[in-house]
Structure 1
Amino acid sequence: MRVVIALGGNALLHRGERADAATQILNAAHAAEQIARLATHHQILVVHGNGPQVGLLAEESERDPTLERGYPLDTLVAETQGMIGYWLAQGVGRHLPDVPVAALVTQVVVDAADPGFDHPEKPIGPCYPESDAERLTTERGWTFVRERHGYRRVVPSPQPERVVELPVIARLLDAGTVVIAGGGGGAPVSGDLTGIEAVVDKDAVAALLATQLEADLLAILTDVPYVYADYGTPRQRPITTASPDKLDGDSFTPGSMGPKVAAACAFSRATGRPVAIGALDELARVVDGTSGTRIQPST
């Protein structure tokens, strides 16, 4: 079975953890162990997130007094692809020394006229106190959104149109390679491969790749075991199975569960195949349908 795994950036840097390399390497090793177990039975493509990591690099770049201006987001996304892809490839390789593993720096074509550029909503980086968010809004023109633990920077997130390296990814999967690609949603570029200042949603890219590669299953991993109705309220309850049409009537948080559900519905509608959303620690059970939320068209 061909499985595309969308691995959240928070799986590598849990909420409240310091962004030290040692911490993230340890978390990546744990994720890689789960992925390696699955790769003994299935073809695997991993599309990882990078929200905490790209936000950290952006902040460091902006503060660097030796630079005239900070590095653009497309370049920083590519940088996180190399870093996180390296950690995951190392981890999978340790568990599967006889299986080839490849991490690709991936470009994703977006439309410069995408309305997402006018409405930034993709959270990146750490949470800031309100006073720091106000200061950074004034000093750097950043946009922030209030979350449960503080204020996070939000950036434009245009829809992916095409993955430049798709033919390479397909050949590697056909050859039995565990592939890590589309990290951080891919480095956003225009049609002529000019970098664009944005961060593409990794779940949307995972759904696009899963559709074009004719994956049997899209597995979206997050830090909660299910998609929840009325999340964060006294009426909160897990959704174990649902159709895309049923989920269209529910409201999910933009920049969090909302993009995951949207990506799941897009893949399921396009292919008629299932999507599983659940926790990393339950990956094998999420894939076999005994844990997490299962989304597929009504029959």
Structure 2
Amino acid sequence: MRIVIGVGGNAIAPRGRPNTVADQRAQIRQACGPLLDAAVDNELVITHGNGPQVGMLALQRDPDGNQPLPLDVLGAETQGMIGYLIETELRNEMTRRSRALTKQQRAEARREGETIRSGAAQRLVTTVLTLAEVSMDDPAFQHPTKFVGPVYTDTEAEQLAAEHGWIFASDGGHPRRVVPSPRPRRIIQVDSTRRLLDAGHIVICTGGGGIPIARDSKGSYVGVEAVLDKDASSALFASELKADVLVMATDADAVMVDWGTPQERPLRVATVGELEQMDFAAGSMGPKVQAGCDFVRKHDGRAVIGRLSDLGHLLDGTSGTTILR
């Protein structure tokens, strides 16, 4: 089975937790057990968000106090950083599992060329820098909705808006920066990823939805000031890879109906048609629901939304929200 798992940026850097590299590594380390379990007898692609990370990098200054780097460059930086953390922790988890086996089990796994749940046979892991093409005519450039960075106080948000011209929206009752998030039209590294999967690699790619690029008047690629939605890019990528399952792992148990009311309850199974009749927050669950519907509609696969720690149950349909045609 070919599986694409999108790990949300907030699952790597949860709200209310320190956004340090050490803390992010610790969060990723916890995720690597379920991710490796999912790779047993399956082809696995891991995508990831970068909203908290790219927002934090945007606060940096050069020694002369100049403006931060453009968002496409920051996206490339976060792909390298988060991809590095995921890949090294996956490799560390495989090593730990391999050491836990007996000498006889390791020999049998090597002889059979099998990847067993305890991780005796080492899987190849590759991180791929990924570009995503967008259209400069996308209306998203006029209506920024993508949350990046931390939440702020009202005073901090006012100061940053005045200093940088940043736009803010409410995220859980707190101001948070929003940037344009145009729809991805094409993922450039699809063929490369397909070849890596065919060769047995676990592939980490499409970080932050891909580095946003567009064609200029001469047909050359140029970077774009935007942060793409990881779920939209993952859905497009999963469709082009002909994946069987798209998992959007986040810090929520499931898609919630009547969210924020006494009638709030998890939605366990829903069709595309049912979900299209419901309203979801534009900057949080809405993009995940839309991405799941897009994937199921285009490819007739199965999409699942839920908590990263419940990954095994998400795949067998006993947890989270499953989206069907």
**How far is 1:87 from its partner?**
0.6
Sequence identity (%): 44
* 1:233 and 2:283 correspond: no
Aligned to 1:285: 313
Aligned length: 295
Q: Supply the distance in 1 between the matched residues of 2:200 and 2:253 (Cα, whole angstroms).
A: 30
Maintained 8 Å contact 1:127/1:149:
no
Residue number in structure 1 paired with 2:67 = 69
Q: What does 1:245-256 correspond to in 2, within 5 Å?
A: 245-256=273-284
Aligned equivalent of 2:151? 127
**What whole-Å deviation, never above 9, does each CA across 1:90-141 have from its counterpart, x for those lacking one?**
1111233511101111110000111000000000000000011111111110
Shift of 1:65: 4.4
How far the C-alpha of 1:67 sits from its partner, in A, is 4.9
What letter corresponds to residue 12 of structure 2 in structure 1? L
Alignment equivalent of 2:203, drawn from 179, 184, 192: 179
* Structure 1 segment 19-34 matched on structure 2, within 5 A: 19-34=19-34
Larger Rg belongs to: 2
1:232 Cα deviation after fit: 1.4
Q: Which moved more, 1:252-261 or 1:23-32?
A: 23-32
- Please give the TM-score of this superposition, normalised by the length of structure 2: 0.89
Asked whether the equivalents of residues 115 and 158 of structure 1 are also in contact (C-alpha less than 8 Å), the reply is yes
Match of 1:95 among 93, 96, 116: 93
Give a deviation string over 1:220-254, Cα, whole Å, max 9, x none. 11111110111111111111100010000111001
Q: Which residue of 2 aligns with 1:165?
A: 189
Superposition pairs of residues 100-249 of structure 1, within 5 angstroms? 100-191=124-215, 192-249=220-277
How far does residue 149 in structure 1 lie from its aligned partner after superposition?
4.7
2:79 aligned residue: 81
CA contact (8 A) 1:220 1:278 kept: yes
Root mean square deviation, CA, Å: 1.1
Match of 1:221, SS state, is strand
Distance 1:4 1:236 in 2: 29
Q: In structure 2, list runs of 5 or more residues that go unmatched.
A: 96-121
Alpha-carbon distance between aligned partners in 2 of 1:147 and 1:280, rounded to the nearest angstrom: 21
3-state SS of 1:190 partner? strand
State the alpha-carbon separation in 1 of the partners of residues 174 and 9 from structure 2: 18
Does structure 2 retain, via aligned residues, the 8 Å contact 1:11–1:31? no
Scaled by the length of structure 1, the TM-score of the pair is: 0.96
Say which SS state the counterpart of residue 96 (structure 1) adopts: helix
Q: Counterparts of 1:128 and 1:65 in 2: how far apart (Å)?
A: 25
1:263 is aligned to: 291
In 2, Cα distance between equivalents of 1:39 and 1:236: 34
CA distance in 1, matches of 2:265, 2:41: 33
Aligned letter for 1:293? T
**2:60 alignment partner, SS class:** helix
Distance 2:289 2:323 in 1: 9
Return the offset for 1:41.
2.4
